[in-house]
Amino acid sequence: MITPDDFMTAIKAALKKTLPEDKAIYDNLVERDVERPCTMVELVTMQITDLTPRSTGFLFRYKITNWINPDDYGDSDFSVLDLRTLLIEGIFGAGYLRVGDRAPKVTACSSKHYRDYTEVTVDFSIAFDRQEFDPAAVLPLMEQLALTTKTKEDTTL
- Write down the pLDDT at residue 36: 86
Instruction: Count other C-beta atoms under 10 Å from residue 39's C-beta.
Output: 27
What is the reported pLDDT for 145?
62
How many of the other CB atoms lie within 10 Å of CB of 48? 10
Which domain, by its residues, includes 44? 4-151
Give the pLDDT confidence score for residue 138 in this predicted structure.
56
Provide the number of structural domains found in the chain: 1
Cα dihedral value 45, 48, 50, 51, nearest 10? 170
Q: How confident is the model at residue 90 (pLDDT cuts 50, 70, 90)?
A: very high
Band of pLDDT at residue 153, cut at 50, 70 and 90: low
Residue at 82 is within a domain = yes
Asked if the structure places residue 142 within a domain, the reply is yes
The reported pTM is 0.80
Three-state DSSP at 24 gives strand
- Angle of helix 78-91 versus helix 4-18 axis, rounded to 10: 130
Per the domain annotation, does 61 fall within a domain?
A: yes
Q: How many CB atoms lie within 10 A of CB 100?
A: 13
- Please check whether residue 156 lies inside any domain of the structure: no
| Average pLDDT score over residue span 38-52 | 90
